[in-house]
Amino acid sequence: MTQSSISVEENQAVLEIYGRSKLSGEVVISGAKNSALAIMAGALLCPGDCHLDNVPSLADIEKMVQILTSLGLEIVRKGQSLEIKAQNITEVQAPYDLVSQMRASFFVIGPLLTRMGVAHIPLPGGCAIGARPVDLHVRGLQAMGAEVIIEHGVVQAYIKGNNKRLVGTKIYLDYPSVGATETLMMAATLAEGETIIENAACEPEVIDLANFCAAMGANIQGAGTKTITVSGVHSLHSVKYSIIPDRIEAGTFLVAGAITESELSLFPVIPEHLASVIAKLKAIGPKVVIEGVNRVRIIPAPLKATDIETLPFPGFPTDMQAQFMALLTLAEGNSIVTETVFENRMRHVAELQRMGANIRVKGSHAIIQGVPCLGGAPLIATDLRASAALVLAGLAAEGKTIIQSLHHLDRGYDNLDGKLQKVGARLRRIPSVGTENQLMSSEEDSALVR
Ligand code: UD1
């Protein structure tokens, strides 16, 4: 083993969880990752200053900061706020090493192209949960008059002609892709005339992006419905905007309450964004009480089997599938979970099986027979929401769970360990892997068990 590979291993933190603790108290939900990423890309549209509040502290957000900085933007983070100055865009090519690490970085293509007349963005490449092509983004931009050449792994998009504006048109999306809807909506804000996006994604993050663009002076109607109409304007202006709460983080904490048989109160949330998640939780057994306009409380109850199928919003979110699968491993009876959005989003199954879960996968279906308890085990996180599912399973399991590859978790959860500790979970991050025996015998370890 080389010196450098040793140090990489030593730097890899693991999360150690002792399960079966009751949780209680309030969890503060951070700003939505997926909104924040799209809105940061949207800052490219505006030559004035963008002040964003409620931006979560996440690895993906830091990557987007790096990508925007590489294009010439000046960005300062102060706590949960970002000051973005996009007066001078000095580069129109995003760096491959950053784009390849995060698919959402491809979403800069729309705002960059419509503002600068040119954008060179590397194809984001494969991803742990499926192939995730960008054909809908590209076809939509072409329909608006962009010339697109895909060469050497880079999507090179240009606006021809003297006035360098995209031209509004009617675009039908074959699938209501969140990213494609966002790319095209942003591109249309500065286009000439009217753009109509049919079969648009209705996710709350699309509405948040539309509201952000409208606050800069864009003219967008219908965000949150299947048809979005954008009337192009010549320029956008400075804005101060606050990101919505993260419905996936909130959903994950609701499952944390259900799986540990604990009462938790979450704040702030937008309850309508959680409707399908709350409906499924109620079908499984726990009570979910909406308190006022922005708080939700989970009250535990015995778990019973339920079928779930992931769908575009307002259907059940694919980003909550893994967490619910962890919950259903402990529900009495047989459940079927069907993943329809991504083709390879069941990689958590093998890890849950290592904890004693009874799950069979057939194509896009997982058949889960509930077991009375899970047992802690060493596990490897495979993608962002799969890691959250393993944390949840670890919180419910007998004994100790150790989760490796935490960089997946850190992409999308703002201080998950700290928030769980605050409500009584027994878990901690250990900087180096070590062997399992070493971990079991450490003195600190036994203190944690008590
Ligand atoms: C966004 C979310 C992600 C969530 C997903 C679905 C962000 C940063 N990420 O991802 O957390 O899981 O929505 O709710 O917002 N597709 C195509 N061609 C395209 C685009 C998409 O075939 O051009 C397919 C994808 O492969 C996938 C499906 O459409 O099977 C949905 O993808 P999409 O809605 O685009 O997801 P993202 O925007 O990448």
Rounded-to-integer distance, Cα 66 and Cα 139, Å: 27
Q: Which residues line ligand 1 (CB under 6 A)?
A: 34, 37, 103-104, 130, 132-137, 175, 177-180, 201, 205, 318-319, 341-342
399-437: per-residue pLDDT in tens?
A: 999 999 999 999 999 999 999 999 999 999 998 655 444
pLDDT of residue 161: 83
The percent of residues in the chain predicted with pLDDT above 70, rounded, is 92
List the residue whose alpha carbon is closest to atom 11 of ligand 1.
319
234-256: per-residue pLDDT in tens?
A: 999 999 999 999 999 999 999 99
C-alpha 286 to ligand 1 mean position (Å): 30
152-174: per-residue pLDDT in tens?
A: 989 999 998 877 899 999 999 99
Rounded-to-integer distance, Cα 53 and Cα 78, Å: 9
Distance of alpha carbon 404 from the chain centroid: 20
3-state DSSP call for residue 259?
A: helix
Of the residues 46, 50, 127, 213, only one is catalytic, namely 127
Dihedral pair phi/psi, residue 438, rounded to 5°: -60, -45
DSSP H or E run through 281? helix 275-284
Ligand 1 pocket test: which of 58, 141, 341, 345 has the largest number of ligand atoms within 8 Å of its C-beta? 341
Residue 428 in tokens:
């901690």
Nearest CA to 190 among 246, 127, 143, 234? Answer: 234
C-alpha 105 to ligand 1 mean position (Å): 13
C-alpha 47 to ligand 1 mean position (Å): 28
CB–CB of 252/413 below 8 Å? Answer: yes
Amino acid at 17: I
Residue 10 makes CB contacts below 8 A (sequence gap 6+) with: 431, 432, 433
Domains of the chain, with CATH numbers? 5-30+245-449 (3.65.10.10), 33-242 (3.65.10.10)
Is this prediction's pTM over 0.85? yes
Residue 208 in tokens:
């948040």
List the residue whose alpha carbon is closest to atom 33 of ligand 1.
177
Dihedral pair phi/psi, residue 95, rounded to 5°: -75, 135
Strands (E), 66-193: 74-78, 81-85, 118-122, 146-151, 154-159, 170-172
Is 373 in the active site? no
pLDDT of residue 130: 59
C-alpha 132 to ligand 1 mean position (Å): 7
User: Which residue is associated with the tokens 């984001």?
Assistant: 124
Dihedral pair phi/psi, residue 391, rounded to 5°: -60, -45
